[in-house]
């Protein structure tokens, strides 16, 4: 990991399998629908210091994300932009068209990370198209989302470019420890969506997480984000609330002890609560 300096905190970067650096903490935009509210949330996140912005064609907000990037005072090369396409656009030609559509909506010259959103449809042809986009320099890295390790293994057997990322549901109740080990051996980075389990399993009232929150004088959300970051899992919390956007970013001025990291393992249920991978 490398430390990236902002005006406020040291933000850690992870190096992907092709040498590209990606922030460990980013800003998610799921359920932030296209419009001024989404645009303002992304602009607030960039102003706070986030440099990874995650969107998808299915979120219907790429245009708002693009407008926020343009309005910000942050240089394009300092922002790591991720977007994704759905199975309806799978296949070689469809994937190429989906990419150009997203690029146009974002108003960008390139995308930092392009993902297959779900392991459905013609995955092999889609990946061939993505490999070409990568080799042409239109995308800095390519990856997948919601794939099992077996599905990643199949891609590795069929293609030359290893996915840089697998973005999956990862939180205290679905920790993906074994998946992370396997993916590391394959050269694939784990990225968490739904780090707070969308509030399920009463996460924000967990006695263990509450105790850690009190110990470190941090919120439960901050404890969870710090736990993921110390596991070297990329994480993309989402909020439209400026206070929470700030709070979620303020996780680089403390560190969970080894024993506390181990204690959180007891919360793992072994499978996803939202998408069962």
Cβ atoms of 43 and 18 within 8 Å: the answer is no
- Tell me, yes or no, whether 246 lies in a domain: yes
Q: Which of 59, 92, 114, 134 is catalytic?
A: 59
From first to last of its 277 residues, what are the pLDDT tens digits of the chain? 655 544 455 678 999 999 999 999 999 999 998 789 999 999 999 999 999 999 999 999 999 999 999 999 999 999 999 999 998 889 999 999 999 999 999 999 999 999 999 999 999 999 999 999 999 999 999 999 999 999 999 999 999 999 999 999 999 999 999 999 999 999 999 999 999 999 999 999 999 999 999 999 999 999 999 999 999 999 999 999 999 999 999 999 999 999 999 999 999 998 888 876 6
User: Alpha-carbon distance 27 to 49, whole Å?
Assistant: 10
- Tell me, yes or no, whether 247 lies in a domain: yes
Quote the pLDDT of residue 4. 56
Quote the pLDDT of residue 124. 96
- Tell me, yes or no, whether 86 lies in a domain: yes
Structural domain tally of the chain? Answer: 1
* Strands 2-5 vs 52-54: parallel, antiparallel or unpaired: unpaired
pTM: 0.94
Residues for the chain: how many in total? 277
- Tell me, yes or no, whether 275 lies in a domain: no
- Tell me, yes or no, whether 12 lies in a domain: yes
The answer to whether 134 is a known catalytic residue is no
- Tell me, yes or no, whether 277 lies in a domain: no
Quote the pLDDT of residue 5. 47
Q: What is the CA angle 214-46-63, rounded to 5?
A: 125
Cβ atoms of 204 and 196 within 8 Å: the answer is yes
At 57, list the tokens. 């064609």
User: Alpha-carbon distance 219 to 245, whole Å?
Assistant: 13
Q: Where are the alpha helices (DSSP H) in 74-219?
A: 92-106, 123-135, 149-158, 177-186, 207-216
Quote the pLDDT of residue 266. 97
- Tell me, yes or no, whether 272 lies in a domain: no
Give the CA-trace dihedral at 123, 95, 192, 166, to 10 degrees: 40
Question: For the domain that residue 103 is a member of, what is the CATH number?
Answer: 3.20.20.100
Quote the pLDDT of residue 215. 98
DSSP per-residue string spanning 192-259:
EESTTGGGGGGGGG-HHHHHHHHHHT--HHHHHHHHHHHTT-EE----S-HHHHHHHH--SS----HH
Structural domain harbouring 42:
2-267
- Tell me, yes or no, whether 177 lies in a domain: yes
């Amino acid at each position: 990991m490398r430390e990236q300096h902002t005006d406020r905190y040291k933000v850690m970067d992870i190096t992907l399998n092709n040498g590209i650096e990606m922030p460990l903490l980013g800003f998610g935009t799921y359920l932030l629908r296209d419009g001024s509210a989404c645009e303002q949330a992304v602009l607030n996140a960039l102003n706070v210091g986030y440099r990874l912005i995650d969107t998808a064609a299915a979120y219907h907000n790429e245009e708002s994300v693009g407008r926020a990037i343009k309005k910000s005072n942050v240089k394009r090369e300092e922002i790591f932009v991720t977007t994704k396409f759905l199975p309806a656009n799978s296949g070689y030609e469809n994937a190429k068209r989906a990419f150009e559509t997203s690029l146009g909506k974002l108003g960008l010259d390139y995308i930092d990370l392009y993902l297959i959103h779900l392991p459905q449809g013609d995955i092999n042809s889609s990946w061939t198209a993505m490999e070409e986009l990568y080799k042409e320099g239109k995308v800095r890295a390519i990856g997948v989302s919601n794939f099992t390790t077996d599905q990643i293994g199949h891609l590795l057997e069929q293609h030359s470019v290893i996915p840089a990322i697998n973005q999956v549901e990862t939180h205290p109740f679905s920790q993906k420890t074994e998946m992370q080990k396997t993916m590391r051996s394959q050269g694939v980075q784990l990225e968490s969506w739904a780090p707070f389990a969308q509030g399920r399993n009463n996460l924000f009232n967990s006695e263990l997480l509450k105790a850690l929150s009190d110990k470190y004088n941090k919120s439960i959300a901050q404890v969870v984000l710090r736990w993921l970051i110390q596991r070297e899992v990329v994480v993309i919390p989402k909020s439209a609330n400026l206070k929470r956007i700030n709070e979620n970013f303020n996780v680089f001025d403390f560190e969970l002890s080894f024993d506390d990291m181990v204690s959180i393992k007891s919360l793992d249920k072994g499978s996803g609560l939202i998408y069962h991978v």
